[in-house]
Chain A
Amino acid sequence: DTEVTQTPKHLVMGMTNKKSLKCEQHMGHRAMYWYKQKAKKPPELMFVYSYEKLSINESVPSRFSPECPNSSLLNLHLHALQPEDSALYLCASSPQAGLEQFFGPGTRLTVL
């Protein structure tokens, strides 16, 4: 299996909702990442997990909460988001942190 999968593909939520994004890989990779991407911009790093431990948090607001339950799974918990948080959220994995990353298809998030 050489894929990174993400669910859901699309998510619409209100500012008071709580939702979660899910990412899964079965390539045996030990690093996983969350990125946020706005239109016509490159992906912007949010979090890095290396060997299931959070190694980088790029000063992301606390309304975004990552979780890595095991080496194959990565979640992003969302709470009290703002309309400006609407974006494409991408998950990626790599054999180890800092090597080439393989991206999932993304979750298109709209915050109303």
Chain B
Amino acid sequence: EDQVTQSPEALRLQEGESSSLNCSYTVSGLRGLFWYRQDPGKGPEFLFTLYSAGEEKEKERLKATLTKKESFLHITAPKPEDSATYLCVLAETSYDKVIFGPGTSLSVIP
């Protein structure tokens, strides 16, 4: 069965303290893995798509990487405005819907 888990459930960082969020997945055929950030009461904001193991994408302080079983979202020198819930989402090759992980709630303290 295809599934997505994320860890930790919540993460509290000091401003400037780099860290990584983990997304572990099992899938029969990977179409793509997506990362989103979501602020409270708003729609998820698309960040990255990763298609195959070894792929990396970067945007400002964020870098996403992919292996055959995991994806990491690395946050370098975070700022308070990076505080949000980060969602990992899996797309499998043979159906039209995607699978959401439970999310990691990130708080960056000034």
Q: What is the interface of chain A, defined by CB distance below 8 A to chain B?
A: 4, 31, 41-43, 45, 48, 50, 55-56, 58, 88, 90, 92, 97-106, 108
A56 to B97, CA, bound (A): 8
Which of B63-92 touch A at CB < 8 Å?
87, 89, 91-92
Nearest B-chain residue to A108, judged by Cβ: B41
Q: Give the shortest distance, in Å, between B50 (CB) and chain A (any CB).
A: 10
What is the 8 Å Cβ interface bit string for chain B, positions 15-38, against chain A (1 contact, 0 not)? 000000000000000011010100
Q: Is the CB of A56 within 8 A of B44?
A: no
Q: Is the CB of A45 within 8 A of B97?
A: yes
Interface majority SS (helix, strand, loop, mixed), chain B: strand
Q: Is the CB of A100 within 8 A of B43?
A: no
The yes or no answer to B49 lying at the interface (CB within 8 A) is yes
Give the contacting residue for B42; candidates A42, A48, A99, A105; CB below 8 A. A105
A56 to B93, CA, bound (A): 16
Chain A residue numbers with a CB within 8 Å of B43 are: 4, 90, 92, 103-106
10 A-B pairs with the lowest CB-CB distances in the bound complex, closest first: A97-B96, A103-B43, A42-B100, A103-B44, A100-B49, A98-B91, A106-B43, A98-B96, A100-B34, A105-B43
Q: Is the CB of B45 within 8 A of A42?
A: no
Which of B85-110 touch A at CB < 8 Å?
87, 89, 91-93, 95-98, 100-103
Q: Give the shortest distance, in Å, between B106 (CB) and chain A (any CB).
A: 14
Nearest B-chain residue to A31, judged by Cβ: B96
